[in-house]
Amino acid sequence: MAPSHSPRFEKLCEEARAKVCECSIDDLLARQQAGDKIILLDVREESEFAVNHLPGARHLGKGIIERDIEQAHPHCDTELVLYCGGGYRSALAADNLQRMGYTRIISLAGGYRAWKDRGLPLEAARGS
């Protein structure tokens, strides 16, 4: 069951979602199978990422993504698919990255929970 969020937070997320591109899990899987060059970024907390994450994902948490994105991905036309636990943090992060000039930012609708609920593969952090 998805956590209950405050009305103001929900409003903030809805405003962000209206400004960013979202893709479904099926869209992401199709693009990965087609060999499209996309970078999958997990914006959850480091402790969440360490437990497990989507295969091939890199971690850049919501708390630091705006600070560290230019060092990690300096080209503003790099296609980045962001995900979090349920699609809230990723929408907020995607909105901020677009405001920073990144032009190919996508938020994964439903995030990690939707992926896990479908029984799709997950991987643990290296060394875990």
> Which residues are known to be catalytic?
84
For 36, the 3-state DSSP assignment is coil
**Distance from C-alpha of 124 to C-alpha of 65, rounded to nearest angstrom:** 21
Q: Nearest 5 degrees, angle CA 109-CA 110-CA 114?
A: 135
The H-or-E segment that residue 12 falls in is helix 7-19
**Distance from C-alpha of 91 to C-alpha of 22, rounded to nearest angstrom:** 8
| Coarse DSSP helix, strand, coil percentages of the chain, rounded to the nearest 5 percent | 45, 15, 40
Nearest to 93 by CA among 125, 68, 128, 122: 68
